[in-house]
Amino acid sequence: MRQIAALPYRLDGVAPDGEIRVLLITSRDTGRWVVPKGNIGPGTSLHVAAAQEAEEEAGVSGALCPVPLGTYRYRKRRSSGASLMIDVDVFPLAVTRELTTWKEQAQRERRWFTLADAAHAVDEPDLRELIRSFAPSQFEAAVRRRSSLVTQQPISGVRSMFAWFQRLLPKTGNFFELFEAHAATVLAGAEATARLLEGGPAAREHIREIVEREHDADQITRDVLKTVRSTFLTPFDRASITALIGALDDTIDEMHAAAMAIDLYEVNEFAPEMRDMAGIVLDAARVAAEAMPLLRDVSRNGDRLHELTERLVRIEGHADEIHSAGLKRSLENYGKQDTLRFVVERELYKHLERIVDAFEDVADEIDGIVIDHA
């Protein structure tokens, strides 16, 4: 048997220092903590069914990535008395709206958890591991812990001499901080893009935020290039540094281009496939934001970096399928009756596809760094 589930999440605070929280709900029969899940209705795609369950059971909606994070198993007792194993595909849902009333409000409790608390609260071992893997902040915390340990260590005579010698060495630049700041800006831009493609009256505010985020990202990119020119020792090959920041910057440049097209053509209704691609963009940005802090220790984090880049490549392939399906639907609906609308939608699909392609380029650059330094 097979079911689908959503993993609703949000970022509390400003990235990259914000903390990811996930929303759990209580089951109707036992009151234990679970994720919103259910059966797949006839003729309904998996991720659409997961979004419906999240809205009906937890009262949340947002940008849902149509590529699952993974699968977990649990046993469900049927009315016949049989206890059957069920496989559940879990889709990440970036929550943008919490409803005040929803279908199963009187039957369940909902609560936001930290990742650690959520993993502890659920009973299913596979689901617990999925939640624990959804944790970019844990790597940043580890980096901060290592940094604080170094600064707190007493300096012996030998270490004092080494510190004196180290001060004579050329500066190595703050590349890691700049990578992480840029990825956080891209993530914020992706969140604004997802909200924009949901439609609604606040479109101009979301467009304005995307423009501002793109300007912030440009400034960080200029800082990286300036630092590359003025730094004697760099953590990676200079070409790898400039290629990685360039690929990251391309992602938000394409978000900006999409927002400008939406503004120019005054589009306020978006096809389901466009919203699906926005969900993929947001998940790709989340994965990229998780990857950046791991570059501080490539040899230790090589395996995890490979897992993250593998997901970026996988969701890019899925985005191609959605892009083709969306174009086909648009051609059938508007190709003859409303040619201008078809041309506009085709351009929007082109921009959305380029955003996802740019994230695949980010994955390629990270893989190159891992190959050279892991």
Distances (CA, A) of 229 to 171, 233, 285, 362: 12, 11, 28, 22
- Cα-to-chain-centroid distance, residue 344: 27
**Long-range contacts formed by 170-174: CB under 8 A, 24+ apart:** 170/231, 170/232, 170/233, 171/231, 171/232, 171/233, 172/231, 172/232, 172/233, 172/234, 172/235, 173/227, 173/228, 173/230, 173/231, 173/233, 173/234, 173/235, 174/227
More confident residue, 141 or 178: 178
The CA distance from 182 to 18, in Å, is: 15
The CA distance from 280 to 65, in Å, is: 5
Range 23-44 average pLDDT: 92
Weakest-pLDDT range from 62-71, 145-154, 293-302: 145-154
What's the burial of 153, exposed, middle or buried (CB within 10 Å: 0-12/13-18/19+)? exposed
Strand partners, 94: 9, 63
The CA distance from 105 to 100, in Å, is: 9
Range 314-343 average pLDDT: 94
Q: With 50 as the cut, is the pLDDT of residue 233 above it?
A: yes
**Where residue 158 falls among pLDDT bands split at 50, 70, 90?**
very low
Name, in order, each residue with C-beta under 8 angstroms of 116's C-beta and a sequence gap of 6 or more. 132
> What pLDDT is stored for residue 74 in this prediction?
85
Range 36-61 average pLDDT: 94
The CA distance from 311 to 214, in Å, is: 25
Q: With 60 as the cut, is the pLDDT of residue 154 above it?
A: no
Written as six digits, the tokens of 250 are 């391309």
Written as six digits, the tokens of 172 are 């190595």
Helix, coil or strand: residue 85: strand
**Where residue 236 falls among pLDDT bands split at 50, 70, 90?**
confident
For residue 159, report the phi and psi dihedrals to the nearest 5 degrees: -65, -35
Q: b/e per residue, 32-53, with b = 16+ CB within 10 A?
A: ebbbbbbebeeeeebbbbbbbb
Query: Is the alpha carbon torsion for 46, 48, 53, 59 positive or negative?
Result: positive
> What pLDDT is stored for residue 156 in this prediction?
41
The CA distance from 288 to 286, in Å, is: 5
Q: With 80 as the cut, is the pLDDT of residue 242 above it?
A: yes
Range 87-100 average pLDDT: 94
Written as six digits, the tokens of 104 are 């199963």
Name, in order, each residue with C-beta under 8 angstroms of 237's C-beta and a sequence gap of 6 or more. 372
The CA distance from 64 to 61, in Å, is: 8
Name, in order, each residue with C-beta under 8 angstroms of 78's C-beta and a sequence gap of 6 or more. 84
The CA distance from 293 to 283, in Å, is: 17
| Residue closest to 300 by CA, chosen among 191, 374, 207, 211 | 374
More confident residue, 374 or 35: 35
Render pLDDT for 166-199 as a digit per residue (tens, 0 to 9): 444 445 568 999 999 999 999 999 999 999 999 9
Q: With 70 as the cut, is the pLDDT of residue 136 above it?
A: no
Render pLDDT for 15-33 as a digit per residue (tens, 0 to 9): 555 688 999 999 998 899 9
**Where residue 150 falls among pLDDT bands split at 50, 70, 90?**
very low
Average pLDDT of the chain is 87
Written as six digits, the tokens of 332 are 């059938």
More confident residue, 135 or 325: 325
> Is 267:198 a contact under the CB 8 Å cutoff?
no
Rounded percentage of the chain residues whose pLDDT exceeds 70: 87
In the numeric block, the tokens 């999440």 are attached to 9
**Where residue 144 falls among pLDDT bands split at 50, 70, 90?**
very low
Weakest-pLDDT range from 103-112, 116-125, 159-168, 188-197: 159-168
pTM of the predicted structure, to 2 decimals: 0.82
More confident residue, 110 or 373: 110
Range 320-347 average pLDDT: 94
The CA distance from 262 to 250, in Å, is: 18
Render pLDDT for 267-298 as a digit per residue (tens, 0 to 9): 999 999 999 999 999 999 999 999 999 999 99
CA angle, 98 then 287 then 324, to 5°: 85
The CA distance from 59 to 22, in Å, is: 14
More confident residue, 164 or 174: 174
